Structure 1
Amino acid sequence: MNFRFQNLLGAPYRGGNTVVTEDGVLLSPVGNRVSATDLLKSQTQTLPFEASTNIARIAASPDGAFLLAVDDASGALFINLRRRAVLHRMNFKRPVTALRFSPDGALIAVGLGKLLQIWRSPGFRKEFFPFQLERTYPDCAGAVTALDWSPDSKYLLAGSKDLTVRLFSLQGSKGQNKPFLFLGHRDAIVGAFFSMEKKSGRVFRAYTISRDGAIFTWNLVESHDFDDQEKLNSDPPSPGTPEQLSSRKDQGEDPMDIESNKKKRKNFGGGDDDENSETPLHKARWELLKKDFFMQAPAKLTACDYHRELDMVVVAFSNGVFGLYQMPDFVCIHLLSISREKITTAVFNKLGNWLTFGCAKLGQLLVWEWRSESYILKQQGHYFDVNCLAYSPDSQMLATGADDNKVKVWTVSSGFCFITFSEHTNAVTAVHFMTNNHTLLSASLDGTVRAWDLFRYRNFRTFTTPSPRQFVSLSSDPSGEVICAGTLDSFEIFVWSMKTGRLLDVLGGHEGPVHALMFSPTSSVLASSSWDKTVRLWDVFEGKGAVETFPHNHDVLTVVYRPDGKQLACSTLDGHINFWDPIDGLLMYTIEGRRDIAGGRLMTDRRSASNSSLGKYFTSLCYSADGSYIFAGGNSKYICMYDVADQVLLRRFQTTRNLSLDGVLDFLNSKKMTDAGPLDLIDDENSDTEVGIDQQTRECLGHGLPGSMPNRGRPIVRTKSLKIAPTGRSWAAATTEGVLMYSIDESFVFDPTDLDVDVTPEAVEEALESNQPQRALLLSLRLNEDSLIKKCIFSVRPLDIPTVSSSIPFKYLQRLIEAFADLLENCPHLEFLLRWSQELCKAHGHAIQQNSRSLLPSLRSLQKAISKLHQDLTDTCSSNEYLLRYLCSTSTKMQ
């Protein structure tokens, strides 16, 4: 029962900005969650916390230790990334349009509409209210859209929708810090950046980028006319104004006076002179060096980023084109099209060799290495609802089908989609893995059932009917000889031969759509459920028609077999789950689940959630691996877990707490109801959602999110499919948020066992120094620290491996096997680790056999790592066989 949220598949990106941390982790908002993709290890995990609504802006501290995530409701989460825990929560009270940490990590710049606020970063301090407001700048006439700090964290560039960029100083009193204005743009500002000299490290240039595709280059001009204190305190004329042009004519410099006035010159942005002689950047003189244009009209510039060390700019446009330019010469390095929709985020990594792009409408996330012109990451979620899912027999893969006509196959361990099949021409309604683990079946409303080869990644067989039909259910017998599919329109079940692809039989008798099919795990009996209020059992191989019929009082929505084949469960439209004995044809139990699944009121509901009967039924059922529990989900935010024998509710899993979805709240605010309907469903013709700067998430709401509605209203929370892994250690649910995965194997929080005051990292180090590797390994296993465990493994001498292996308690065996599986993928000491694995199996062989179910995931990971190494060594040896023969023969002749 201790299932916890593990990952979210099917949606790598849904809008907002992305961040690449110092250690190569890509952070991207996914609804009200944040997904962390390790680009070096090729793994993705969704952080185990939720915001109240969809996350709009995120910012990571320079050292990668903290993350600040702000949602559409202005709620902020301050997160410790290394422990994956929420440290603080607060509300900014206004919509956040821009967010940026200072380079030293001490300050946070927040754009709150027209206001710019500077907050003190909480860090690790223990305070009653950790967020401290340092300063507020109310100078902008439009919403702040871009922020950039100077390297010394003393100055800040802020671009806004009022077509200007302001240079703020954080030093001195508030009255003297009037910002410097960069003028001349003709559209909203998308990016503003400081540029540094590589040798001196001082700021000497700035770039401003606007939405119409213009980039302005500004140079900092050193001036010697600041001796007059009154002129020092006065503001210099802004570039582009008549005052500035006339002042430049009046300030003609004589080359003979340069040397005499050298002592009066001031360095800007941190030169070699005394700090007291530095002129503040916001009081200095800036000149417009040049204007450049990207020439992508009528497309708009939607995202940009700048890398200081490389002096390069990356820009992205609404037509899916991105460009990489070397500054300040404005040399185009790459100009490519990567999407057919608007690119909503573009960002450099720390080294500047990887570019990250995101398309919110398509749910697309790309990481591109521009030097080698190759993809580091290329992921795209389903465009519409995920209708169905299926686990592979070894629980290592997960297949999903959706309304976007695509079938995707995901690797459960990494969270990545490794193949997409797009041959279907209509919505995919059912997917099913064959027992051979390398064949996948899919049924669609386009009238075809297709078989996919997961070795060659191709459609090797297509099953059709004499006249077009719409298939909504799919199953195959345990031997894999026949394929059965139920229809939506003709109410028939079609049976094909897997080997020949021929249509063998058509099973008729149902009077409504056949929405569920499942073969008995132990026999060739097929169970089908239909909206005609019956469940029928068919003997497919005998061809005698329906063997047994189980009548119900309401429409039957789904049917499943217990893993031992001795029980049948089906859900009906009245919210009941009925359990039948398929052998004797008797009704065994009935669970009434209307109260359990009830919850959440839709905006269009005229009744409260407790009084409404809409959606109070289960559309998907799934037995646990041992058959003692059953999971049930439907058009609700809850997934229920029942004990079958006692017919009691054990636990309810709430799939989401995202208030951006409809059906999450039990009680709605009546003030939002008008004569024209709910306020959230009324389109605002004057809104600026098409700008793509501060409303990226809302713009894709009516298109890209699973469960979206055609009237651009909020998606409705629901669960369409439930499946448990064959190992019984995890289960997955196809929901509006995507494919949620719950597991009891992985632990993302600090969860040590058998701790006391003497079990510390210092004690492990002392044991290693005193040459006690066995004690050190046991202490590290009790601490459950991965780095310490691996360090202690390598401290054991090869001759002592058998002795240490036999002394490891069984409860630590799984953790040790997981460490070996990880080391085999990343460590060159192959023989040493294989000997460890061999001795562990020898010492604990009987215990492993007795507890194979609990150890199966870790053993499979170890087997996968060993098999991969074996294949690599085999290929290497076979390619070098003749070279080795030649070297051996040459050495023999020389002797």
Structure 2
Amino acid sequence: MNFRFQNLLGAPYRGGNVTTVDNTLLISPIGNRISVTDLKKSETITLPFQSSSNITRIAASNDGVFLLTVDENNRCLYINLRRRAVLHRITFKKRVGAVKFSPDGALIAVALGKLVQIWRSPGFKKEFFPFELVRTFADCNDKVTSLDWSDNSGYLLAGSKDLAVRLFCLKKVPGLSKAFMFLGHRDAICGAFFGTDKVDKVPRVYTISRDGAIFSWILNNVGEDVEMEDSEPVSPGTPDQNGDGNGDENENVKKRKNVEGDVSDGDDKNGVLLHKGKWELLKKDFFMQAPAKLTACDFHSGLDLVVVGFSSGVFGLYKMPEFTCIHLLSISREKITTATFNDLGNWLTFGCAKLGQLLVWDWKPESYILKQQGHYFDVNCLAYSPDSQLMATGADDNKIKVWTVSSGFCFVTFSEHTNAVTALHFMPNNHCLLSASLDGTVRAWDLFRYRNFRTFTTPSSKQFVSLASDQSGEVICAGTLDSFEIFVWSMKTGRLLDVLSGHEGPVHGLTFSPTNAILASSSWDKSIRLWDVFQGKGVVETFSHTHDVLTVVYRPDGKQLACSTLDGQIYFWDPIDGLLMCTIEGRRDIAGGRLMTDRTSAANSTSGKCFTSLCYSADGNYILAGGKSKYICMYDVADQVLLRRFQITHNLSLDGVLDFLNSKNMTDAGPLNLIDDDNSDTEEGVDNQTRGNASYNLPGALPNKGRPVIQTKCLRIAPTGRSWAAATTEGVLVYSIDDSFIFDPTDLDIDVTPEAVDTALSEDHFDRALILSLRLNEDALIKKCIISVFPADIPAVISSIPTKYLQRLIEAFAELLEKCPHLEFILRWCQELCKVHGNSIQQNSRNLLPALKSLQKAITRTHQDLAETCSSNEYLLRYLCSSSS
């Protein structure tokens, strides 16, 4: 019951800008979520909260504490990054084109259409309205596209689509009512940055336009009053420019007095006054990448480096002000949507929204720090490895990716399939992966050498949609979409052994019994059939239903069979006696979410109210069910009751999330959101990626212009039982049991306290201390008691542990093996546990299976790490011995 969202796999990047914090933390938006990648530890996590729609802009404070995100609906989240908590929320009135923290972290500059607003950065203090508007600049004649602060947080550069860059002074200056304009560009501004001449210490400004031009500006005659003839007056409508008018200052103006304080000619507390003197155009340079447009840029003031990305997939790194090209390379053929430096300037980060690609490149040694790419279309299927360390995903882009669950990184991609991948299955040995595809092949992949070592085919081309393997791994079975047959191959020889015929519809479900060689298949012909594959007896049993059967799955002990039908029912069968055990009515539970084209609310909709994927828990006590809905349901099998509903997303950029029909959004021409906007410009924001079936790209294929519809295509629970994953429109969502302590005592009375545990430890009563900690069920106390026991006392302490506490003790051993340095000590605990309680573990194997799988996973991972270290030491010793002789 205590599963919580942990990570999002399958889509490292989908659009918007990225930023780095503390040099090694890469923050990137994934749809309506935020991903944080630790480049030093090679780990990635997804923050637990969501925005209301796809995130388009993010900004982080220089100290790395606060993060600001803005989505497509102009809703802003102010986040404490270290605590992973949302502190404040605000909704802006116009679309946000750029947002940036000031260097001191006290202010936030936000570009709202043609306006530039300065907000005071909220702190930890509780306030009725924490966001306070300080100033508003209304000089620009078109949308503002870029912002940059000076080092002293006193000035702001704003680049606009009106081909000009403006210099704003944050504080009020007597006689200064105009913003200086940097003119001369012939296309929209992509970036404007402050710089400093390293020799003369003279301020510089670099402006970059979309046509590939970069202008260098320098400040001369500092301290002289210069009349800026090319500047335009600021709009008189805002109260900031009316300081010399009447003497009535409202409360907001009084609060902003320290920011808007007058700056006299001799007052130079913040260094060089950039509004004094004359800005001159020093030189013009061009990147010469026509006809490609410049789409992303960034400047590192400490190293005087400029990085630019183009719509052709080419990026360039230049040394300023000499404009010396250091690197000019191509990373793809698609548009680079973001390019940025880290704080030290040694790593470059590039993002390509169309490919879902995220790259971190060290430009000095010319090596990749990070290279991740997600699936181009929806993920159709996924599979956990037997030890739960790996996860494989297959999608409509014909690719298979294998991910490390703990780090969230993809380490290998297989692209030999020529059509969509529909099913995946890990072999019991953990080193072989099977895949089925619509291209008519079933392929076996070697996860040691990363190659396709065997391909299973049929005499005539078929489309495979389901896949299964027996427990021994000797027989491979695949169900078809077109001929309604099941093909059986030998894993060793690759020969076609048998063709099972009898179904009259697509075979969308295949599963082998965990205890024998009986194969269960489900089809759209309203039936489930059991096949004896090894004896060649054909159909052993047939279970008929009143509606199409969508999927079938065995309980881990093989004594129950579950299937879902088109009418929203889940049937539970006894495969041995052939009797119907119970049913669950799930139509009301999974109902939720309406399409944009629906004229009714979600409650009155008849579409999508069925489960297309089922998955038993490791102990078989509950079952997960998902389908064409925003919900995933968890049921108790014994009582047939709904335990919990997981809403997989709140992203309003996807279709099928809203439940109610808003009549204000309906017009005679259809839903307001689906009416074409002739003034829309996809160059500025995130391109709407068409995800799902490739037919979405055809004109008129979908009435909602190919807008992605939220659904769950595949559900899998890890063999350890500690986590489960769902292949959804958003990506692969991973839910796991929360690691933080939750007070859930198993046998509590007045004498069971943490103080009693400490007293028992001080008196060397280790068995009593361990039992008390297990009764309290507090993780820190249990581990403390385990570590405190002397090695010689381990057998005696193990003998005193009651059977009902074995599961909690095994879970504690698994966690200690992954984090505790006392490897031999913990392994000795495990050995004694098996010796003393071996019979109890065998009798309660079904309930203890998740904990035992977790222990096996921890031992396997430790063994792999030690094997690599030992092999390296062995070769090093051999080399030293041979060199010394």
Question: What TM-score do you get using the length of structure 1 for normalisation?
Answer: 0.84
- Structure 2 CA distance, aligned partners of 1:107 and 1:16? 22
> What residue in structure 2 maps to residue 821 of structure 1?
818
Residue pair 1:681, 1:713 contacting (<8 A) in 2 also = no
CA gap of 1:645–1:479, structure 2 versus 1, over 3 A, is same
2:127 and 2:510 map into 1 onto residues whose CA distance is 58
**CA contact 2:478–2:488 (8 Å) conserved in 1:** yes
For the 8 Å contact 2:355–2:376, the answer to whether it is kept is yes
Task: Report the Cα offset of residue 429 of structure 1.
Answer: 0.7
1:511 is aligned to 2:504: yes
| TM-superposed deviation, 1:806 | 11
Q: 8 Å contact 1:631–1:722 — kept in the other structure?
A: yes
TM-fit CA distance, 1:805: 13
1:524-563 matches, cutoff 5 A? 524-563=517-556
Which one-letter code corresponds to 2:618 in the other structure?
Answer: A
Task: State yes or no: 1:221 paired with 2:220.
Answer: yes
Pair 1:206-2:205 in alignment: yes
Q: Which amino acid aligns with 1:214?
A: A
**1:491 and 2:484 are equivalent in the alignment:** yes
- Change in Cα spacing, 1:640 to 1:223, as seen in structure 2 (3 Å) is closer
Match of 1:701 among 689, 708, 716: 689
Answer yes or no: is 1:287 the counterpart of 2:280.
yes
Deviation at 1:679, TM superposition (A): 2.5
Distance (whole Å) between structure 2 residues aligned to residue 189 and residue 551 of structure 1? 66
In structure 2, distance between residues paired with 1:515 and 1:422: 23
Seen in structure 2, the aligned counterparts of structure 1 residues 729 and 397 have a Cα distance that, compared at 3 Å, is: same
CA distance 1:317–1:842, change in 2 (3 Å) = same
Work out whether 1:149 is the aligned partner of 2:137. Answer: no
CA shift, 1:873, in A, is: 3.0
Deviation at 1:671, TM superposition (A): 2.4
Contact 2:152–2:270 at 8 Å: present in 1 too?
no
Question: Partner letter of residue 873 of structure 2?
Answer: T
Matching residue of 1:453: 446
Secondary structure at the counterpart of residue 178 of structure 2: coil
Residue identity opposite 1:700 in structure 2: N
1:28 equivalent in alignment to 2:28? yes
- Does the C-alpha gap of structure 1 residues 19 and 803 become closer, same or farther in structure 2, counting only changes over 3 Å? farther
Alignment of 1:373-452 (within 5 A): 373-452=366-445
CA distance in 2, matches of 1:4, 1:707: 35
Counterpart position of 2:81: 81
Letter paired with 2:218: N
Q: Distance in 2 between matches of 1:141 and 1:310?
A: 33
- Give the 3-state SS of the residue equivalent to 1:878 in structure 2: helix
Paired residue type of 1:109:
A
Alignment partner, residue 249 of structure 2: none
For 1:324, which of 298, 305, 317 is the aligned residue? 317
> Structure 1 residues 521, 277: CA separation in 2 closer, same or farther (over 3 Å shift)?
closer
Offset of 1:277 from its aligned partner? 11
Aligned pair count? 809
Q: In the aligned structure 1, how far is the partner of 2:598 from the partner of 2:270?
A: 69
CA–CA separation in structure 1 for the residues paired with 2:185 and 2:47: 40
Cα distance change on mapping 1:885 and 1:39 into 2, 3 Å: same
1:876 counterpart (873, 876, 879): 873
Report the equivalent of 1:646.
639
Contact 1:236 1:284 in 2 (8 A): no
The answer to whether the 8 Å contact 2:817/2:862 transfers is no
Provide structure 2 residue ranges, at least 5 long, that are not aligned to the other structure. Answer: 233-262, 746-752, 759-768, 842-847
Superposition RMSD on alpha carbons, in Å? 3.4
Contact kept? 2:779, 2:812, Cα under 8 Å: no
| 1:857 lines up with 2:860 in the alignment | no
Contact 1:384 1:707 in 2 (8 A): no
Q: Identify the match of residue 463 of structure 1 among 456, 468, 492.
A: 456
What CA distance in whole angstroms lies between the structure 2 residues aligned with 1:62 and 1:882?
48
Kindly state the Cα deviation for residue 526 of structure 1 after the two structures are TM-superposed. Answer: 0.5
Alignment of 1:683-702 (within 5 A): 683-689=676-682, 691=683, 693=684, 695-696=685-686, 699-702=687-690
- Are 1:212 and 1:301, in contact at CA under 8 Å, matched by a contact in 2? yes
Distance in 2 (CA, whole Å) between partners of 1:784 and 1:332 is 59
After superposition, the Cα gap between the structure-2 partners of 1:476 and 1:801, relative to the gap in structure 1 and judged at 3 Å, is closer
Residue number in structure 1 paired with 2:160: 160
1:231-283 Cα shifts (integer Å, max 9, x gaps): 56x436569xxxxxxxxxxxxxxxxxxxxxxxxxxxxxx9xx97379763123
- The answer to whether structure 1 residue 743 and structure 2 residue 741 are counterparts is no
Instruction: Describe the superposition over 1:178-223 as per-residue Cα deviations: whole angstroms up to 9, x where unpaired.
Output: 21110001111111111124578x6611100011100000011135
Is the partner of 1:382 in helix, strand or coil?
coil
CA shift digits 1:575-603 (9 cap, x unpaired) = 11111111111111111111111011111
Equivalent position amino acid for 2:634 in 1: M
Aligned mates of 2:779, 2:549 — CA distance in 1 = 50
Amino acid across the alignment from 1:701: Q
Whole-Å Cα distance in 1 between the matches of residues 270 and 346 of structure 2?
Answer: 38
Change in 2 beyond 3 A, CA 1:550/1:880:
same
The answer to whether the 8 Å contact 1:385/1:707 transfers is no
Q: CA deviation at 1:675?
A: 3.0
The residue identity in structure 1 corresponding to 2:390 is M
Whether 2:183 is the aligned partner of 1:179: answer: no
Q: Does 1:348 align with 2:336?
A: no
Distance, in Å, in 1 between the alignment partners of 2:796 and 2:406 is 29
Tell me by how many angstroms 1:297 deviates: 0.6
Note closer, same or farther for the CA distance 1:484–1:863 as it changes in structure 2 (3 Å cut): closer
CA offsets per residue over residues 707-727 of structure 1, 9 Å max, x none?
977554421110011111111
Aligned to 1:588: 581
Q: C-alpha deviations, 1:695-754, integer Å up to 9, x for none?
A: 22xx1333599997755442111001111111111111111100011111544xx87999
CA distance in 1, matches of 2:820, 2:358: 29
Distance in 2 of aligned mates of 1:276 and 1:882: 64
Closer/same/farther in 2, CA of residues 719 and 333 from structure 1, 3 Å limit: same
**Amino acid of the residue matched to residue 91 of structure 1?**
T
Closer, same or farther: CA 578–340 of 1 in aligned 2, 3 Å: same
Tell me the distance in 2 between the aligned counterparts of 1:138 and 1:53.
Answer: 28
5+ residue gaps, structure 1 = 240-269, 765-774, 825-832, 890-895
Q: 1:816 to 1:566 in 2, by over 3 A?
A: closer
Seen in structure 2, the aligned counterparts of structure 1 residues 236 and 856 have a Cα distance that, compared at 3 Å, is: farther
Match of 1:676 among 665, 669, 674: 669
Deviation string, structure 1 residues 310-354 (Cα, Å, up to 9, x no partner) = 110000000100000011111111111101110100011111111
Cα deviation, residue 517, structure 1: 0.5
2:23 and 2:342 in contact (8 A); partners too: no
2:250 counterpart residue number: none
3-state DSSP of counterpart to 1:701: coil
Q: Bigger shift: 120-129 or 459-468?
A: 120-129
Farther off after superposition, 389-398 or 849-858: 849-858
Question: In the superposition, relative to structure 1, how do residues 718 and 310 fare at CA in structure 2: closer, same or farther (>3 Å)?
Answer: same
C-alpha separation between the residues in 2 aligned to 1:616 and 1:705? 21
Change in Cα spacing, 1:175 to 1:540, as seen in structure 2 (3 Å) is farther
Alignment deviations for residues 843-872 of structure 1 (CA, whole Å, 9 cap, x no partner): 877799767843753663465245313422
Q: 1:150·1:194 contact (CA, 8 Å) conserved in 2?
A: yes
Distance 1:487 1:564 in 2: 27
**Displacement of 1:18 after TM fit?**
0.3
Task: Supply the distance in 2 between the matched residues of 1:301 and 1:446 (Cα, whole angstroms).
Answer: 39
Deviations 1:381-432 (A, max 9, x none): 1101111111111111111111000111111111111111100001111111
8 Å CA contact 1:15–1:56 kept in 2: the answer is yes
SS at match of 1:179: strand
The 2-side partners of 1:81 and 1:805 are apart by 46
* TM-score normalised according to structure 2 size: 0.85
After TM superposition, give the deviation of residue 835 of structure 1 in Å.
5.6
C-alpha change, 1:452 and 1:54, in structure 2 (3 Å) is same
Matched residues in 2 for 1:822 and 1:169: separation?
53
State the distance in 2 between where 1:428 and 1:211 align: 39
Give the match for residue 473 of structure 1: 466
